Amino acid sequence: MVDDKSTGKVKAVILVAGPQKGTRFRPLSLEVPKPLFPVAGKPLLEHHISSCCKLPDLEEIIILGFYQSNDTILRFIDDMKRQYKTSIRYLQEYQPLGTAGGLYHFRDQIVTANTKAIVVIHADIFCVLPLTKMMEMFSSKNENNAGSHIVLGTQVHQTSSNHSEHGNIVLDNNTFEVNHYVEKPESFVSAIINCGTYVFHPSVVESLGEVYRNTRDDGEQTSNRELLFFGKHLFTKMAGRGKLFCHLLKESFWGSMKSAGSAIYANRRYLDSYKTNDGQQLVQNEPGKPEIVGDVFIHPTATVHPTAKLGPNVSIGSNCVIGPGARVKESIILDGADLRENCCVLYSIIGWRCLVGAWSRIEGTPHEPNPNFAHALVTNESLFHADGHLIPSVTVLGCNVIIPREVIVLNCIVLPHKELSGSYKNQIIL
């Protein structure tokens, strides 16, 4: 650990979990790992890499998880290294180690002699991350209180159920110290929740080592001796000891992308953020071009007929074909999809290389925060009601699905490689 923090380097660690996670994201996660799913024209993981690359003194980005190191992941990392001109590598856990276990297991590869801070990000969140402001707070707190850590928090509506899905933070409103922390409580504790983004002092490794030894000494039963979690094992013990502080998120949206419905909402929010952060990503209305309503991303290799109407909040992937008179709204159209003439796609995700026949209608039910509450989040509920009925949500077509002419597909999830023969409503088509 360095004594002169001003000359140290920053390591960024992005936690991607693995294939046992993200089951609510199927069938989309059957084709690509959930962190590589494209939102607003970029893989979700790239949005976080882009945020990390804006950090001063960034030394490298480490992607940490238990996905097998396959061609898809390695090709993505190579692309990101070329695009952002930053050192990026993948560390594969030998088994699931929890949110903190991987950081402890690979501590010698992550924390080096000149590391002054470790930025940790959960890959399944969507947010324009305020990493620079978090680093400023980190530097300020560590000037007179070495070993301080920063957690990103946001306020939610007090009567919502979000407190049971996230860690709850009780703050000192003057110093922003975390006085109390409860991981996913059954009853309401605080309107401020953990956003899954942290800036750690290198001493966090020693704290995790202490937790590791104590959990073993306490006889905690687990088949995995290195299974550690930031919320459960670390923050609950750090809270109230003057070392854990919270940066309140006020400058951006935030949510967790657990389901296809939340991907549509994340797509909307990232597209909106392009207006201030990356305006060239959005297409504009031009003579002889398709009609654009609101925020729309179209990949340069896509072919869109001039009589089509797109938007608001639409992303069109590479090599897509959008036919004459097609209408697309609040949807993600993935690479290679073919939308024939006069079809209509609303609140849907059209999978890779799908075909939607002429005059067909693909429609889902909006999956959005409660507009009546200022701090509402997208809920990530089950797919089913208690009685077993499918909860209406966005329509999702897996890869290589064929939809015939003149049919309606409403509130359905269609698994890959299916060829439908008629209209469907509120079904999972296996």
**Which H or E run contains 76?**
helix 71-84
Residues 113 and 23 in one domain: yes
Can you give the CATH number for the domain in which 350 is found? 2.160.10.10
Number of Cβ within 10 Å of residue 195's Cβ equals 27
Same domain, 356 and 250: no
In this structure, is residue 271 part of a structural domain? no
Asked if the structure places residue 234 within a domain, the reply is: yes
Q: Which two tokens stand for residue 232?
A: 């459960």
Answer yes or no: is 65 within a domain: yes
Residues 244 and 334 in one domain: no
Q: In the prediction, which pLDDT does 1 show?
A: 40
Spatial distance between the Cα atoms of 83 and 81, rounded to a whole number of angstroms: 6
CA distances from 184 to 69, 179, 192, 310 (A): 31, 16, 12, 40
Strands, DSSP E only, in 104-146? 115-122, 125-126
The torsion angles phi and psi of 104, rounded to 5 degrees, stand at: -70, -40
Same domain (yes/no): 120, 76: yes
The pTM of the full predicted model, rounded to 2 decimals, is 0.92
As to burial, measured by CB atoms within 10 angstroms (0-12 exposed, 13-18 middle, 19+ buried), residue 81 is: middle
Helix (H, G, I), strand (E, B) or coil at 41: coil
Alpha-carbon gap, residue 149 to 167, rounded angstroms: 16
Distance CA 151, CA 384 (A): 33
Do 50 and 124 belong to one domain?
Answer: yes
SS3 340: coil
The answer to whether position 274 is within a domain reads no
Residues 207 and 349 in one domain: no
Q: Single out the residue of 188, 121, 182, 127 nearest to residue 154, CA to CA.
A: 127
Q: Are both 388 and 241 inside the same structural domain?
A: no
* Nearest-angstrom CA–CA distance, 223 and 278: 46
Q: Cα 314–326–363 angle (5° rounding)?
A: 65
Boundaries of domain holding 313: 280-428
- 1 within domain boundaries: no
Q: Which residues pair with 248 in a beta bridge?
A: 153
Tens digit of each residue's pLDDT, the chain (430 residues): 444 455 689 999 999 988 765 567 889 988 899 999 999 999 999 999 999 999 999 999 999 999 888 889 999 999 999 999 999 999 999 988 999 999 999 999 999 999 999 999 999 999 999 999 999 999 999 998 889 999 999 988 765 566 677 889 999 989 999 999 999 888 888 889 999 999 999 999 999 988 888 776 555 555 566 789 998 899 999 999 999 999 999 878 999 988 888 999 999 999 999 998 888 899 999 999 999 999 999 999 999 999 999 999 999 999 999 999 999 999 999 999 999 999 999 999 999 999 999 999 999 998 777 666 656 676 655 677 667 777 788 999 999 999 999 999 999 999 999 999 999 999 999 8
Q: Determine contact, residues 408/360, Cβ cutoff 8 Å.
A: yes
The whole-angstrom separation of Cα 415 and Cα 9 is 45
Pairing label, strands 192-200, 149-155:
antiparallel
Distance of alpha carbon 188 from alpha carbon 55, whole angstroms:
35
C-beta separation of 189 from 161 below 8 A = no
CA distance 330 to 264: 7
pLDDT, residue 216, reads 64
299, 237: one domain: no
Question: Is residue 150 domain-shared with residue 231, that is, in the same domain?
Answer: yes
Note the pLDDT of residue 390.
Answer: 76
Residue 238 is assigned to a structural domain of this protein: yes
Greatest CA separation for the chain: 71
Asked if residue 86 and residue 171 are part of one domain, the reply reads yes
- Same domain, yes or no, for 157 and 77? yes
Question: 269 lies in a domain?
Answer: no
Does any domain span residue 67? yes
**Is 259 in contact with 393 (CB distance < 8 Å)?**
yes
Looking at the structure, tell me whether residues 252 and 285 fall in a common domain. no
What distance lies between CA 198 and its chain's CA centroid? 15
The count of structural domains within the chain is 2
Can you say whether the dihedral through the CA atoms of 138, 143, 149, 151 is positive or negative?
negative
Nearest to 124 by CA among 263, 250, 267, 268: 263
Residues 111-164 pLDDT 10s: 999 999 999 999 999 999 999 999 999 999 999 888 999 999 998 876 556 667
The CATH number of the domain holding residue 99 is: 3.90.550.10
Distances (CA, A) of 84 to 53, 57, 61: 7, 15, 11
Residue in 132, 249, 116 with CA at minimum distance from that of residue 194: 249
Q: What share of the chain is helix, strand, coil (3-state, %, to 5)?
A: 25, 30, 45
Q: What are the angstrom distances between the C-alpha of 46 and each of 10, 73, 137? A: 18, 12, 25
